[in-house]
Amino acid sequence: MNLVLYNLFPDRLNLYGDRGNVIALQKRCEWRGIHLKIVDIKSTNDMNLSSVDIIFIGGASDREQGLITKELLKIKKDFKLGVEDGISCLAICGGYQLLGNFYVTSEGTKHMGMEICDFHSSAEKDRRVGNILIETNEFGKVVGFENHSGRTYHSYKPLGNVIIGYGNNGEDGTEGLCYNNVIGTYLHGPILPKNPSLTDHIIRAAIERKYGRKELIELDDTLEYETKKHAENICLTV
């Protein structure tokens, strides 16, 4: 089996080791004999959304996010069609905010989003920083690290509910967003190496869309779950 992953603007959208998410997807495919072709996208002119299976959008500073927005708005219609067709997408922090209608910086600058989902984000002067632990229905507990001034508000299904940390906005107890095969989240860290069930969900969704239902070969995740448990304990003891 072969899959194609677009890593959007990795030279600009790579805060806090977010490229580790791409590596996690690559390795967990490789260990199963699945060839994952990774294409680093540096211009929307290089994008052919009819041939992609997974899209990764990392985090960025407000400045970088503003620059990238201009590029992504060029392909927002095709991106939306791909999402409705079931393309898998993981969007982190700034990438998560870009899925919405707009993002307002703490200085009041408004960056338009791709309008993939109907929500908005706005930044405050103070940042939400620290380890975060959430509870999800599909993946159990999920651990990560958050560092964001943005507050995101939406009515979609969240990725999970906050146990420790701030999440979407520090008010409603939710973190992230799930829509079709799209996951948006504020969790850096990167999120996927420490949460293998989430990584496998993204791979499985891409395979099912392309090839029909296929069972993934089970892997020995002893080390991954030991790491995850250690991260959980850190969250609970701080």
What pLDDT digit, counting tens, does each position of 139-153 carry?
999 999 999 999 999
Catalytic residue selected from 93, 117, 178, 235: 93
Domains and CATH numbers, the chain: 2-237 (3.40.50.880)
pLDDT, residue 170, reads 94
Residues in contact with 167: Cβ distance below 8 Å, sequence separation at least 6, in sequence order: 132, 134, 146, 158, 173, 174, 175, 176, 186
* pLDDT for res 210: 95
pLDDT digits 0-9 by tens, 116-136: 999 999 999 899 999 999 999
What local confidence, expressed as pLDDT, does residue 48 receive? 87
- pLDDT confidence tier of residue 238, bands split at 50, 70 and 90: low
Model pTM score: 0.95
Question: Residues within the annotated binding site?
Answer: 127
Please state, in angstroms and rounded to a whole number, the distance separating the CA atoms of residues 185 and 160.
10
Residues contacting residue 56 through CB under 8 Å, at least 6 positions apart = 5, 6, 7, 8, 21, 22, 25, 89, 90, 91, 95
- Tell whether the model's pLDDT for residue 37 goes beyond 90: yes
Mark the binding-site residues for substrate, compressed into ranges: 127
Burial of 50 from C-beta contacts in 10 A (0-12 / 13-18 / 19+) = exposed
Active site residue 230: no
From 111, 148, 154, 188, the catalytic residue: 188
Best-predicted range by mean pLDDT among 61-70, 105-114, 183-192? 183-192
120 is catalytic: no
